[in-house]
């Protein structure tokens, strides 16, 4: 099946710093990728839709200036958490679907801890 990778898998940072998370589709091209957030023992919440070559579409309640998304190529989307605070600590997961596939493939996730 299609493979989606994320880097880093785990990051610890100080409050006020920015963190960049990469999401790559390894064996397919993806014009659209999705970023989700998951709190411990909770479900996944869609944060934004990342569109290659254009601006991301954010879900209601998600601050676009805080969660910067860049989809510069057909295989890479990045999520930057700017001026991170402890409440941004979470599990961030990206997903993508190859071509006309109906199946979304999820990355392994990035666990962010802000101290």
Summarize as ranges the residues that interact with another protein (CB under 8 A). 1, 32, 34, 42-46, 49, 57, 93, 95, 97, 102-109, 111
- The distance from CA 88 to its chain's CA centroid, rounded to whole angstroms, is 13
Contact 93, 36 (CB under 8 A): yes
Q: How far is the CB of 51 from another protein (least distance, A)?
A: 9
Which of 1, 86 has the CB closer to another protein? 1
Q: Where are the beta strands (DSSP E) in the chain?
A: 4-7, 10-13, 19-25, 32-38, 44-51, 57-58, 67-73, 76-81, 90-96, 105-106, 110-114
Q: Is 66 or 91 the residue whose CB approaches another protein more closely?
A: 91
Closest to another protein by CB, 57 or 70: 57
Report the nearest approach of another protein to the CB of residue 93 (Å): 6
- Minimum gap (Å) between residue 16 Cβ and another protein: 27
Query: Half-sphere exposure of residue 33, counting CA atoms within 13 Å on the CB side?
Result: 33
């Amino acid at each position: 099946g299609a493979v989606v990778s994320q880097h880093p898998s785990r990051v610890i940072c100080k409050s006020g710093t920015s963190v960049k998370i990469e999401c790559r589709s390894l064996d397919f091209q993806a014009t659209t990728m999705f970023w989700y957030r998951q709190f411990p023992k909770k479900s996944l919440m869609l944060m934004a839709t990342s569109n290659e070559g254009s601006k991301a579409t954010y879900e209601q309640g998600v601050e676009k200036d805080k969660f910067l998304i860049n989809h510069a190529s057909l295989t890479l989307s990045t999520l930057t958490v700017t001026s991170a605070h402890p409440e941004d600590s979470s599990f961030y997961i990206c997903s993508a679907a190859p071509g006309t596939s109906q199946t979304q493939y999820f990355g392994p996730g990035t666990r962010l801890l802000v101290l």
